[in-house]
Amino acid sequence: RYGYRRIHVLLKREGWQLGKNQMYRLYSEEQLQLRSKLPRRRKMVVRRQAKIKPVKPNEAWSMDFVADQLANGMRFRTLTIKDVFSKEALAIEVGQRLRSDHVVATLNRLAAAGSSSISFCR
């Protein structure tokens, strides 16, 4: 992938007597032009909603998964659900695998325990 300038230099080294304009004309006639790279299309920016700061307990919860490994090689995962306002850990579930049905059951158990005024979960 050489441009006409590079080819001009290489031909000049071999002893050819060509000017730049003459080289460009021959380069164009032989249709050796490199296709110009089109700029990549940028992705549309999605406007995110501002995070709502809770003003009372049980208005917003946050969930977090952490995976780790014991010294014997056994893996485990933890699910922590905490209240964003009071920073109290509402539930900590530990297991070798935490499937979605287990997460849903934990959230339903917390909601049934009187914390049903939750507006959103992060």
CA dist., res. 25 & res. 117, Å (int)? 76
Residues 68 and 103 in one domain: yes
Would you say the pTM of this structure is higher than 0.75? no
- Do the domain assignments include residue 54? no
Q: Provide the pLDDT confidence category of residue 120 given band limits of 50, 70 and 90.
A: low
Share of the chain above pLDDT 90, in %: 32
pLDDT for 61: 87
Residues 117 and 79 in one domain: yes
- Do the domain assignments include residue 12? yes
How confident is the model over 42-100, as pLDDT tens digits?
878 888 777 778 888 888 888 999 999 999 999 999 999 998 888 999 999 999 988 99
Residues 30 and 66 in one domain: no
Residue listed under structure tokens 């959103």: 120
- Do the domain assignments include residue 27? yes
Residues 71 and 115 in one domain: yes
Domain total of the chain: 2
Residue 52 DSSP class:
P
Q: Which residues constitute the domain of residue 103?
A: 60-121
